[in-house]
Structure 1
Amino acid sequence: MNGLALFQFIAVVLIWGTTWIVIKDQLALVHPSWSVTYRFLVGGLALLAWCRMRGLPLRVPRASLPFLLLFGAAQFVLNFNFVYRSELYIPSGLPAVAFALLMVPNALLAWLFLARPVTRRFLLGSALGIAGVGMLFVQQLSHPGDRSETLVGLAFVGAAVLSASVANVMQASPAARRFPALAGLGWAMLMGAALNALVALGLAGPPQWDARPQYLAGLLFLGVVASALAFGLYFDLIRTMGPAEAAWTGVPIPILAMAISTLLEGYRWAPLAIAGSVMALLGLVVALKAPAPRPAQA
């Protein structure tokens, strides 16, 4: 991992590690689909405004529009509608923990559709990471509450992970290199916002709004920072590192999310959670460590 990739990796972790608690607040009064609509409307406009300010191309080839529509539906409609709904049933830390396993379907789909090899080092690191995340997962499930609601929430999270994985692998495909990256991402977000508005109209009726200042502040953070900025960094990681490797950002994110929960929600770190965090981070180091260079042949 070079210096730029490391910076992007850390930035994505820091940004997305804080989004879960913000999403929870977005669900106070507004239907999830409307909150998702507003988020990606803000995110898409912010990306296109940035492109115009920097003199970057805004147009994408007409032939790429179906790809962007499908990508936007998977990433910004299905994925986030499932995530927001999951937080109606389960604590905010649990979806973050589940998304740490995104590397698994990403690796499998990239192997199936993009012929990307899976190294032994990556498999070993993944096994450690999955074990560590599983320990965190058990810790979260041990909390008191309605188990039937927990299962519904987990079903939504599982659907969100699969939707996100499809979108991740699409970003690593040759078709994703046929249009300007940031402009394509911005238009995909706006397409996603339009589709989300249709979903919201069908499920919740006319647009809803929350007049609290913290709702607007949270929406701006989620739209500009957690969407426009973070997705731009993350999808660049996918193109340079690969979808399976980039998905390892999901391992430290729940650890950070639960650290924030410790400060704001009174989360208590049990020995199992501590051990799981250490094992997951160890797996991250093993999976992403570059192999030693071979000595030059005489």
Structure 2
Amino acid sequence: MNAALYALTVVIWGSTWLAIKGQLGEVHPTASVAYRFALAAAVLLAWALVRGLPLRYPARVHGQFALMGALMFSTNFVCFYFAEQHLTTGLVSIIFAMSLLVNMAFARLFFRRTIARRVLVGGAVGLLGIGTVFWPEFAHFSLSSGTGQGILLSVCGTLVFCLGNVVSGKVQAAGVPVIQSTGYSMAYGALLTAPFALALGDGAAFETTLTYTGSLLYLALFGSVIGFGAYLSLLGRIGGERAAYATVLFPVVALALSTVFEDFHWTARDGAGVLLILIGNAVVLTNPALLARLTGARAEEPDDRAADADSVVRNSASD
């Protein structure tokens, strides 16, 4: 059962990046984001209502839901939708995969958690990998180029998402269950995005094509509801640290799909960069005792490991 949940999480989250491509057409990206999370919120809150879960919270908590929604289910996805107009889905997923490290940096900044040495090493390796993949673009970076805009939007989306994780951590620490907080946050994200869709949208209000409708349903139901539910179930079964390996593997799925459906052409530099990114993330997530046995080094203190694991768990309310 654990293997099935793990595979479901990796495949769904790895495939959502390609599904976003199906949303890019006549409908403005802000409208597509609003549709996606309005539908996902309706499903989650209806599920909570059917199960009899508490849905009444004070205004202060709703303010936190709104902030979480603005960061995690609105602004960041608008950035990613626009980014995919300029970059292949696999490349966008590579940049987002570094949210694992950004979350840990934010945990240090906002929660004063210690950053373990392996995190610093893994982060350096992962950043080297991103630099390897995007070196030609970085060497001739220009916001006037589509690639430059795509990189900047992807980085902004990742940073905003990680700020949302900080808010999510505070909400969970206050004892609000994940299903309710996510459902309400998605609803607020859709509500906050809708005015921009009305003001900026200059195309069709909706596409009835199979590509657009199908990708919207997939993103809302599978990417935002089922994928998240599978990951939560996995957390309860095997713990956050091992479950978080999904964030290492889903870029592989995204790149494989991009190769097949977007004609992404691999170079030796791309392969080396992706390998470095995967190694860096694996080092961050690997059990310190295992690393000590492999390298002969002294294992890091348990507190460091616990702090990192807590930070990793908050990384995963993504696509």
Query: Do both proteins adopt the same fold according to a TM-score greater than 0.5, normalized to the shorter chain?
Result: yes
Deviation of the 1:121 alpha carbon: 1.7
Aligned equivalent of 2:276: 279
Aligned equivalent of 2:314: none
Distance 1:59 1:10, change over 3 A: farther
Aligned equivalent of 1:260: 257
2:29 is the alignment partner of 1:19: no
Q: Is the 8 A contact 1:44 1:186 kept in 2?
A: yes
User: Counterparts of 1:201 and 1:170 in 2: how far apart (Å)?
Assistant: 27
User: Counterparts of 2:106 and 2:235 in 1: how far apart (Å)?
Assistant: 13
2:163 is the alignment partner of 1:166: yes
Q: Is the 8 A contact 2:84 2:92 kept in 1?
A: yes
Q: Per-residue displacement from partner, 1:220-276 (whole Å, max 9, x unpaired)? A: 11011111233456688999748xx98774443322211111222222322222223
Deviates most, 30-39 or 127-136? 127-136
Distance 1:109 1:197, change over 3 A: same
Calculate the aligned-residue CA RMSD, in Å. Answer: 3.2
Distance 1:251 1:196, change over 3 A: same
In structure 2, give the amino acid aligned to 1:212: T
Residue pairs, 1:1-298, within 5 angstroms: 11-138=8-135, 148-173=145-170, 176-204=173-201, 208-232=205-229, 241=240, 249-292=246-289
Aligned residue for 1:220, secondary structure, equals helix
Q: Is the 8 A contact 2:45 2:183 kept in 1?
A: yes
Structure 2 unaligned blocks of 5 or more: 291-298, 300-319
In structure 2, give the amino acid aligned to 1:36: V
In structure 2, give the amino acid aligned to 1:25: G
User: Counterparts of 1:112 and 1:67 in 2: how far apart (Å)?
Assistant: 19
How many residue pairs get aligned? The number is: 287
In structure 1, give the amino acid aligned to 2:258: S
Deviation of the 1:113 alpha carbon: 0.8
Percent of aligned positions with the same letter in both sequences?
35
Q: Per-residue displacement from partner, 1:60-84 (whole Å, max 9, x unpaired)? A: 3433111111110011111011111
Q: Is the 8 A contact 1:59 1:183 kept in 2?
A: no
Deviation of the 1:208 alpha carbon: 0.6
User: Counterparts of 2:6 and 2:114 in 1: how far apart (Å)?
Assistant: 21
TM-score, normalised on structure 2? 0.78
Q: Per-residue displacement from partner, 1:62-111 (whole Å, max 9, x unpaired)? A: 33111111110011111011111112223222221211221232122110
Deviation of the 1:56 alpha carbon: 2.9
User: Counterparts of 1:9 and 1:117 in 2: how far apart (Å)?
Assistant: 28
In structure 1, give the amino acid aligned to 2:126: G
User: Counterparts of 2:56 and 2:6 in 1: how far apart (Å)?
Assistant: 28
Distance 1:36 1:60, change over 3 A: same
Q: Is the 8 A contact 1:131 1:280 kept in 2?
A: yes
Structure 1 unaligned blocks of 5 or more: none
Q: Is the 8 A contact 2:94 2:130 kept in 1?
A: yes
User: Counterparts of 2:60 and 2:41 in 1: how far apart (Å)?
Assistant: 20
Distance 1:189 1:53, change over 3 A: same
Q: Is the 8 A contact 1:139 1:272 kept in 2?
A: no
User: Counterparts of 1:111 and 1:237 in 2: how far apart (Å)?
Assistant: 26
Aligned residue for 1:17, secondary structure, equals helix
Aligned residue for 1:172, secondary structure, equals helix
Deviates most, 232-241 or 186-195? 232-241
TM-score, normalised on structure 1? 0.83
In structure 2, give the amino acid aligned to 1:184: S
Distance 1:238 1:125, change over 3 A: farther
In structure 2, give the amino acid aligned to 1:96: S
User: Counterparts of 2:272 and 2:185 in 1: how far apart (Å)?
Assistant: 39
Deviation of the 1:177 alpha carbon: 3.4
